[in-house]
Amino acid sequence: MGEPSATAEVRSSKTLWFGMFASPVFWSLHLLIGYAVSEAACMTNLLGFHILGINALLVFLVAITLLAMGGIAWNGWWSYRSWRHYARQNPEEKFPLQAYDRDEFLALSGLLLSGIFFFLLSINMYPFLVLRLCV
């Protein structure tokens, strides 16, 4: 059922470029919002209360991290679908991870960048769970 809609969709140049740059943008926004809110919360005790015994700042940071990871995962899924769409158009390729035209390159780059930035955000969760906030 999902297959006909995937092949029927027209992958425009704008969506392919979005697929390539969305993951770095999600990661950058996560860092900007996280550091800005952390600094403001630690200086002014803005999120000094607790939610179910957990510091509200920690809950906020984990929530925006999971939100960014969800956006990156969605972008990776979209890039994967686009890449498979273009790979089906060239079934005679000997090396399936080699991109032969611009559209296939953009889709594959978006997929690989999504994996890299998803991994970076998962590494970024470690200090939240180990280090103390607002020292």
3-state DSSP of 12-35: CHHHHHHHHHHHHHHHHHHHHHHH
| Cα gap 83→41, rounded to integer Å | 42
Across-strand partners of 50? 55
pTM of the model: 0.80
pLDDT in tens, 58-69: 889 999 999 999
Report how far residue 106's alpha carbon sits from residue 21's, in angstroms, rounded to the nearest whole number.
10
- Read off the pLDDT of residues 77-133 as tens digits, 9 standing for 90 and up: 999 988 888 777 776 666 666 666 788 888 889 999 999 999 999 998 888 888 888
As a whole number of angstroms, the distance between CA 39 and CA 60 comes to 13
CA dihedral 62, 66, 68, 69 (to 10 degrees): 130
CA dist 59 and 39 (Å) reads 15
